[in-house]
Structure 1
Amino acid sequence: MPTLPNCRFQHAALVGKYHARGIRPVLEDVAHLLARSGLDVSLESETALATGMSDYPALSLADIGRQCDVAVVVGGDGTMLAIARELARYDVPLIGVNQGRLGFITDIQLKDVPSALPQILSGRYEREERAMLEGAVVRPLKDGGFETIYEGHAINEVVVSRGATASMVELRAEVDGQFIANYRADGLIVSSPTGSTAYALSAGGPILHPGLCGWVVVPIASHTLSNRPIVVSDAGTITIEIVAGKDASMNFDMQSLASLMHGDRVTVRRSAHKVTFLHPQGWNYYATLRRKLRWNEGVT
C-alpha cells in the first residue's frame, strides 16, 4: 500500500453519524486512511459502541478534547453541529465528511476522501473560524431578582417559538437594553452567520458571510408584516422576553427547553469560543453557496 504524505497532526478522533445505515464500512475506510497517514486514531465512544468497531481506542468527547489535535466527522451538518459545540472549548479543528443531504459545513464528499483528506492532514488546507452563540434563560423571582434556569451554546441559532397548541407568542426584543420591537409571531430566530443558511434562511432572513461580526434577528410568520429581519452587531447582548402566549419554547441548535413562562428572558451573546473547520485547498464560501443553493443551474 502506498505511503501517504507526512502528517502535521498526531492524534485524530473519528466521529460518525453512528445510526446511519452502512456507516461502519465508511468509518473503517477513513480510520485506515488516518492510520496510514501516521496518526494515532481514536473513536468517539458512542460511535464505537453503536458500530461495534473495536480496533481503535474509544474516547469520550471530553477526552477527545484533551488528547486529540484534530477530529474527522463523518455525517451531516447536524452531526457536525453537535460535535463542534462540545469540542470548541478545546480548540480542536474539525474536518467534515458529508454523508448527509445538504452539507454546508461537512464539505468533503465521500468520493473525494482518498484525495482530499491526506492533503489536509499534510498541512495543505483552508482554515476557517466560525463564531458561536452562548445564552441563558433567566426567570424572574418574587424578590425582584432572576434565576438562571438554562445555559447553552449554539453554532447555528437560538429560537424562541410558540407552543404546539398556541396560535402565536408575543416577544419583546432588546439589544444591550435598547428596545428593538415587540413581535407577535410564531417565534423569533437569533442566528449566527453560520446559521443564516439554515432555519433563518427558510424564514426569510438574509445570508451572512461567516466572516461578519453580526447576528441576524428573524421573526417567524410575524403578525405584523412590517416586522422584518434585522442584522445587529455580535458585540452586544440580545434579550428576548416572553410577553404573552402559552407554552413557549427555546431551542439552542438541537438543545431545547419547553414551557417558558411569561416574564422569562432568553439572553444571547457571542461565545468566547470559536469553531475551527479545515477545508480542502481552494475551498471558498461562495462556491459552497452556488453548489448547495444551486445558483449555478443554467450557467454554461
Structure 2
Amino acid sequence: MSQRFRHAALVGKYHAQGIRDVLEDIAGFLIRQGLEVTLERDTALNTGMTDYDALSASDLGKVCDIAIVVGGDGTMLGIARQLARFGTPLVGINQGRLGFITDVTVGQFAEALAPMIAGDYEEERRTMLEGGVWRDGEVIFEGFAVNDVVVSRGATAGMVELKIDIGDEFVANLRADGLIVGSATGSTAYALSAGGPILHPGIAGWVMVPIAPHDLSNRPIVLPDSREISIEVVDGRDASVNFDMQSLASLLHGDRVVVRRSADQVRFLHPLGWSYYATLRRKLRWNAGVA
C-alpha cells in the first residue's frame, strides 16, 4: 500500500554547476509540503547549505522514509547502494538528459513530487549484486553493485584469461579485455556498450558479457540470478575488479571474484504512468523514425 512520506533525505551531485540553487528550491518545496528535510553530509559540506541538518548516508537510512536524489544515474547508484539495506525508496531528479533511473526533470520536480509525496507513485524493486575477492582462502575485498561487477585487464597490459564457474559447474575459459556481470539495471550501462542484451528488471537474472573477447564464439549470455558466479584470474597482468564505484586493482593469478545476488533490493519510485518501455524508447531513440 502506498504511503505518505514524512522525512526526506536530499542528496545532490554537489560538484555540478548551479546545484545549490536547485537543492534549495527542492528543499523549500518539500518543507512547504510538510516534510522534514535532512541533507546527505557530503552534499551539505560541498554546497555550503547550513540551514538543514546533515547526516551520513547510513544515518539517513535510519531516520528518513524517502530519498530525493538530484543529479544523474551515477549519483543515484552511489546512494542507492548505501540505502538499499534500509529499504529507503529513492526518487531521481535529473539536471540534464533524463537517465534510465533518474527520470524526473528539474523543471518538473514540483509537479512530479507533489503526488508522489502524498502516496501516488509507481514503485519498482531492483536486484543488487554482492560479492568479493578470495585470495589464498581469505576474503580480501567485498563490495555491492547496483549496475555491475567488472573484471578487466590492466591499462597497459594485454588480455586477461579468466576461468568462469557457475554454481558447481565449470563453464568457460575466456581470453578477453575483461568480463561484465550485470544486473537488469546494469544491462543498459557498460554491458550494453559491450554488446550485451537488455534485461527487463522483472526477470530474475544477470547478463554476463565478455569485453572484446579473443574468440568471437564467446558471446553474452543471460543467467539465472540464483547461482553464484566465480571468476578466477588465470593469466594477465594488473587485472582489476570494480563493483560499481568500488575498485580493487592488481588482482593476482589465482584470485577469485565471487558474485551472487544480494539479499537487499533497491526501491525506485516513479511518477504515476511511468513505463520501463517508454524509458528505453526515449533513451535509445527507438521512435526516431516515427513522424
**How far off is 1:165 after superposition?**
1.3
**How far off is 1:298 after superposition?**
2.0
2:85 to 68, 85, 89: 89
Q: Which SS does the other structure have where 2:114 is aligned?
A: helix
**How far off is 1:179 after superposition?**
1.2
Measured against aligned partners, the alpha-carbon deviations of 1:178-220 in whole angstroms (never above 9, x if no partner) come to 1111110000000000000000000000000011100011000
| 1:22-171 map, 5 Å | 22-140=18-136, 146-171=137-162
After TM superposition, the runs of 4+ consecutive aligned structure 1 residues lying more than 4 A away are none
Measured against aligned partners, the alpha-carbon deviations of 1:214-233 in whole angstroms (never above 9, x if no partner) come to 00110000000000001111
Superposed CA RMSD in Å reads 0.9
| Partner in structure 1 of residue 236 of structure 2 | 245
Mapped partners of 2:283, 2:10: distance in 1: 25
After superposition, the Cα gap between the structure-2 partners of 1:47 and 1:234, relative to the gap in structure 1 and judged at 3 Å, is: same
1:236 to 227, 233, 251: 227
| 1:191-230 map, 5 Å | 191-230=182-221
Q: Which SS does the other structure have where 1:8 is aligned?
A: coil
Q: Which SS does the other structure have where 1:282 is aligned?
A: coil
Q: Which SS does the other structure have where 2:109 is aligned?
A: helix
1:272 to 234, 252, 263: 263
CA contact (8 A) 1:44 1:61 kept: yes
Measured against aligned partners, the alpha-carbon deviations of 1:19-38 in whole angstroms (never above 9, x if no partner) come to 10110010001001110110
CA contact (8 A) 1:160 1:249 kept: yes
Q: What letter corresponds to residue 237 of structure 1 in structure 2?
A: E
1:255 to 246, 261, 283: 246
Mapped partners of 1:34, 1:73: distance in 2: 13
CA contact (8 A) 1:34 1:41 kept: yes
Which deviates more from structure 2 when the two are superposed, residues 8-17 or residues 96-105? 96-105
Instruction: Name the count of aligned residue pairs.
Output: 289
Mapped partners of 1:197, 1:296: distance in 2: 17
Q: Which SS does the other structure have where 2:14 is aligned?
A: coil
**Alignment pair present for 1:181 and 2:177:** no
Stretches of structure 1 that go unaligned for 5 or more consecutive residues are 1-6, 141-145
Q: What letter corresponds to residue 168 of structure 2 in structure 1?
A: G
Q: Which SS does the other structure have where 1:240 is aligned?
A: strand
Q: Which SS does the other structure have where 2:102 is aligned?
A: coil
Mapped partners of 1:172, 1:101: distance in 2: 39
Q: Which SS does the other structure have where 1:50 is aligned?
A: helix
**Alignment pair present for 1:293 and 2:284:** yes
CA contact (8 A) 2:98 2:105 kept: no
Mapped partners of 1:134, 1:103: distance in 2: 24
CA contact (8 A) 1:77 1:100 kept: no
Q: What letter corresponds to residue 36 of structure 2 in structure 1?
A: D
**How far off is 1:102 after superposition?**
5.0
Identical residues among aligned pairs (%): 68
Mapped partners of 2:24, 2:133: distance in 1: 41
CA contact (8 A) 1:168 1:185 kept: yes
Measured against aligned partners, the alpha-carbon deviations of 1:212-258 in whole angstroms (never above 9, x if no partner) come to 10001100000000000011110010000000000100000111100
